[in-house]
Amino acid sequence: MAWWGTLLGGTLGYMFGGPLGAILGAALGGNFDKGINVTSQFDPGAQERVQAAFFTATFSVMGHIAKADGKVTPEEIALASDIMGKMQLSEDQRTAAKKLFQEGKNESFPLDDVLIQFRQECHRRINLIQVFLEIQISIAMSDGQLHKNEKQAIFHIGHLLGFDRSHLDNLFRFTAGSSSSHGHKKQSINDAYAILGVNKSASEAEIKKAYKRLMNQHHPDKLVAKGLPEEMIKIATEKTQEIRKAYDLIKTRK
């Protein structure tokens, strides 16, 4: 939670400009000064700055996705609350996250500007951006159906973040498989193949390669080091558990 303490202390707040800074400033009840120079400690790419950008973009874009089909469903609200719960947010953080979610629902929400700045703030951390997209896809699919407007919004978001159509299709399959086996539900063999992103005809070598790639992409410590807020480590850990479970299940069927 070091980034949050820095933010509330004002140090990061006055250095974090642009649309993300404006949105986060509004959520915190203040305004960020876009004209003050950033010290070397918080230059683009600095971990605490990336963590603040990830938190801001995640919950605001989540609100945009939830409203993309014209209404916010109870399932979408429940998933957003579940994510906040897993992050064990403080009262102040949860309040800010809810305000960011509400901001994303507004018609005036500057989606493209937010995404362009978010990509810049992530400083080429592709795995971190992928986790961001997985969270947005999970919101879109949380009510058991994917509205065409939600899917179009995801493809638009992915494009602006540098992901091509085939990569996004893989993320949809990964998230669908992960969602199907969420919680106490038993993971099916179809879910397992979807999570690893391989066909049932894949060789053992191909399956193992996919497994290692996904584990590397979702490794909690690596993601936190790259800018994932520490509060999201439980979410990343659950992803690695699902990936490992999928790999083990497929191995037993081969």
Q: What is the DSSP string of 181-240?
A: T-TTSPPPHHHHHHHHT--TT--HHHHHHHHHHHHHHH-HHHHHHHT--GGGHHHHHHHH
Residue 22 near residue 94, CB atoms below 8 Å = no
pLDDT number for residue 137: 93
pLDDT number for residue 34: 40
pLDDT number for residue 132: 94
- Residues 119, 33: Cα–Cα separation, whole Å: 21
Report CA-CA distances (Å) from 37 to 55, 137, 163: 22, 35, 31
Q: Which residue has the tokens 């995801």?
A: 154
pLDDT number for residue 41: 47
- Looking at residue 10, its amino acid is G
pLDDT number for residue 64: 95
Residue 58 near residue 130, CB atoms below 8 Å = no
Low-confidence ranges of the chain (pLDDT < 50): 12-14, 31-41
Helix, strand, coil distribution of the chain in percent, nearest 5:
70, 0, 30
Query: 127-152: buried (b, 16+ CB within 10 Å) or exposed (e) per residue?
Result: bbbbbbbbbbbbbbbbbeebbeebbe
Residues 6+ apart with CB under 8 A from 162: 119, 126, 129
Residue 63 near residue 100, CB atoms below 8 Å = yes
pLDDT number for residue 16: 64
Q: How far apart are the first and last CA of the chain?
A: 43
Q: Which residue has the tokens 């979610």?
A: 101
- Residues 133, 166: Cα–Cα separation, whole Å: 14
Residue 44 near residue 120, CB atoms below 8 Å = yes
